[in-house]
Structure formats: structure tokens, C-alpha cells
Amino acid sequence: MEINTQDYQICYDPATATVSFIGSLRLSGPAEYTPIAQLLTKVADVEPTKITLNLQQLEFLNSSGINMLSKFIIDIRKTARVEIAVQGSQSIAWQGKSLKNFQRLMPALQLEFV
């Protein structure tokens, strides 16, 4: 499963259950984020032990994108069958503030900054 555009790329590695986000996500509103949300749902439907969201190369994510990821994390928390790890980069300013909020939504979420 992969989504490629001029501005961003999202790749899923089934061997490690890792979804990698690369580039800049500046989509306008929930409707434009639907394909990404559907990809994440497909990953979760397989019910791996742990899903890793690798955001280390995601330069920008707007509020609609943060909202989409927040809803995904809340949905995972409700099922309580899958762990989530989020990998971020200390060198990308928005991640330091925003990614910590995901732990408020799901306290068991593993947050790693590289």
C-alpha cells in the first residue's frame, strides 16, 4: 500500500507494520485526507501486534492532518488490540509539540524522537 504525490509519499511496510510519511501534508480538510485514513484503517484491520507511524521525514502536517491521525489513534485505543508507536524527529519543530498530544489521546502510545 502506497500513496505518492508531488508533495508527499506514504508507504506501508507489512513486514514491520510501519507506515512512513515523507514530505509535506497540506491537504484541505477531512475529505482530502480520506485516502490516507483508509490506508491506516487497512493496516489496522490486519491487526498487527504493533503499528509504527514513522513521521521522521514529515516536514509539515497541518491541523486537518493532525486531526486525521488523532482520530486514527482514538479508534485504535477503543479496540485495545493493537499497540501504536510514533517515531518523530527532534529537528522538525512542529513534531516536538504536536506528537506529545497523541500520548494524551492514548497514554500507552510509544513516542520516540530521533
| pLDDT over threshold 90, residue 96 | no
Average pLDDT, rounded, for the chain: 94
- pLDDT of 20-63, one tens digit each? 999 999 999 899 999 999 999 999 999 899 999 999 999 999 99
Closest CA to 83 of 107, 57, 59: 107
Closest CA to 21 of 78, 33, 29: 33
Neighbours of 97 (CB within 10 A): 8
Closest CA to 52 of 22, 16, 23, 11: 16
DSSP state of 42: H
Q: Which residue has the cell 477531512?
A: 30
